[in-house]
Structure 1
Amino acid sequence: MRTAVVTGAAGGLGRALVTQLLDAGFEVVAVTRRETTTDGVHALHADLLVRDEIDALAARVRDTVPHVDVLINNAGAAFPHYAETPDGVERTHALNHLAPFQLTHRLLANGSLAPGARIVTIASDLVTRGRLDAGRPDVTGTSWRTNFSQLTVYGTAKLTAVLATSALADRLPEGMTTYSANPGVIRTGFNAKAGGLLRLVSAVTNLFAAAPEKAARTPVRLATAATPSSPSGSLVSHGKSVDVEFAPADEVYEHTARALGLTPLVR
């Protein structure tokens, strides 16, 4: 049986992803921050803001299922003000960029990912708000300490993840593929829960937001299609590959690996 791991699986898009993967015949590992009960799946719990917990999660995945055919890095948040994790990095970057990068590399290192594994990381429309220094990209977000802007910081964290995914595609073992998937605006309460400006605009965005079940189709299609529908490393939005204009992808990848104390994969 094929196996999928979904982070941020407690509700909204994550729950829709789990349901559709179960319907597609996958055994599913659902990763949540707090203790939850999800019928028919392996429920694992980890705070993805904490690096030690991500390492422990990777070990538990290895011990729970024989292999991982699909990894969907879905967990994310847009925090309304600046604060750092116990590891000394800005929270938005930690959850949206550093956590999926670390989990992916830990599962690669411990042999959990199957030879033809698909890795999908959830992106956002707000990547267009991202701001990075091409020569010295701030992959940990600490440069936003004194000029924090919720939308720009969230967009930057998502952009950083997209660029790292692009660079990872050329470094994965043959047969593995990776994608960024933009589900668009989703009717999940994400904006309202985020607080700050996103909470203020949530009443408007919900008017044209998609249901989680519809938003889940793009990442699930990327994860399960018999043959890859887009080149590995692509950002896919509404079923189509999207070009990222600002692309210091290798610099982002290398800086991220160093920030996490990981050995970069060789191209």
Structure 2
Amino acid sequence: MTQTMGDKTVLVTGATNGIGLVTARELARRGARVVIVGRDPGKTARVAQEVGAADALIADLSELVQVRRVAAEFRERIGRLDVLVNNAGAYYARRQETRGGIEMTWALNHLAPFLLTRELLPLLHQAQDPRVVTVSSDAHRFGRIRFDDPEFRRGYSGWSAYAQSKLANILFARELARREPGVRSNSLHPGMVRTGFGHNNGGGTSLLWRLIDRFAISPEQGARTSIYLASEPELSTSGRYFVREREVKPAPRALDDGAAQRLWTLSEEYVGR
């Protein structure tokens, strides 16, 4: 059954490609006022028109200063938020840093959704059924939070950095649910989706991801759980992890409440209290 969202305002990050694009399109089809965030102005404008988005904001979310700016723009231009879909993310085979000097995986995959959510909480508090949907991955099962070196300044591994960030996504979603009981905060694994993910790295890494894409599911299939968590009216759970629209148990490290609280404190130190 298709759920109507005619009274909802939704913000979707990473919405110019893959499951973010499908999520934005399908929520707009259900009547939601959808706002998307993208990096490239031209592409973002085209996608906004294609998916029926009400507005489009431009930001490189790996840069914390731009996360703050886009949150301020959203508060000023839109002024209402019912559902935030933290979808943007990437994999970096080689260690890179943002202009702000933070390792890219840590900045984009974890700090950006942490900061954006925090900046938009005042609007979520005003919503009747506020929701935060954070796209993680079953890669979290291979991750651990390197509290002493989360940016992998020593011994960088693209896979380890990615797995750490996806574990951080679940810990963040769970701690947000604990701190904000009025906000439904859940995370999910979309599956191995054919979206062009990983192709940004070039060389052998890009070829490997292209091979994986042959066996991957479609963006339409991968977006189903994000859409479910954003739109299902009977959803009552918070702080949970979903796969294929069903709640599943994440890895033991993702259920460590002490680590979740410690990660929150570390994240505040990065973005400023």
Q: If the length of structure 1 is used for normalisation, what is the TM-score? A: 0.89
Distance 1:111 1:205, change over 3 A: closer
Q: Which runs of 4+ in 1 moved over 3 A?
A: 109-113, 194-198
**1:179 to 2:190 alignment:** no
1:237 counterpart residue number: 243
Aligned to 1:226: 233
Moved more, 108-117 or 162-171: 108-117
Query: CA offset at residue 50 of structure 1?
Result: 1.2
> Partner residue of 1:27?
33
**Secondary structure of the corresponding residue to residue 102 of structure 2:** coil
Q: Which structure 1 residue ranges, 5 or more long, are not aligned?
A: 263-267
Q: Secondary structure at the match of 2:108?
A: helix
Residue in 2 that maps onto 1:99: 112
Offset, 1:178: 0.5
Q: How does 1:238-257 map to 2 (within 5 A)?
A: 238-240=244-246, 241-246=248-253, 247=256, 248-257=259-268
Mapping 1:1-267, distance limit 5 Å: 1-35=7-41, 36-37=44-45, 38-39=48-49, 40-41=52-53, 42-109=55-122, 114-133=127-146, 136=147, 138=149, 141-142=150-151, 144-172=152-180, 174-195=181-202, 198-228=205-235, 231-240=237-246, 241-246=248-253, 247=256, 248-262=259-273
- Contact (CA 8 Å) 1:9, 1:32: kept in 2 or not? yes
Letter matched to residue 46 of structure 1: A
Q: Aligned-pair RMSD on alpha carbons?
A: 1.9
Q: Which runs of 5+ in 2 are unaligned?
A: 1-6
Displacement, 1:110? 6.0
**Do the aligned residues in 1 keep the contact of 2:125 with 2:182 (CA within 8 Å)?**
no
Alpha-carbon distance, 1:160 to partner:
1.1
How far apart in 2 are the matches of 1:21 and 1:154? 28
Cα-to-partner distance string for 1:75-114 (whole Å, 9 max, x where unaligned)? 1111121122122211001000000000000011466762
Cα distance change, pair 163–64 in 1 and its aligned pair in 2 (3 A): same
Q: What is the alpha-carbon distance in structure 1 between the residues aligned to residue 137 and residue 107 of structure 2?
A: 16
The structure carrying a bigger helix percent of its residues is 2
Counterpart contact for 2:92–2:198, Cα < 8 Å: no
Deviation at 1:210, TM superposition (A): 1.0
Instruction: Specify whether residues 151 and 68 from structure 1 end up closer, same or farther in structure 2 by C-alpha distance, changes over 3 A only.
Output: same
> Does the CA contact (< 8 Å) of 1:80 and 1:197 recur in 2?
no
How many residues get paired?
255
**TM, length-normalised to structure 2:** 0.87
Of all paired residues, the percent bearing the same amino acid is 36
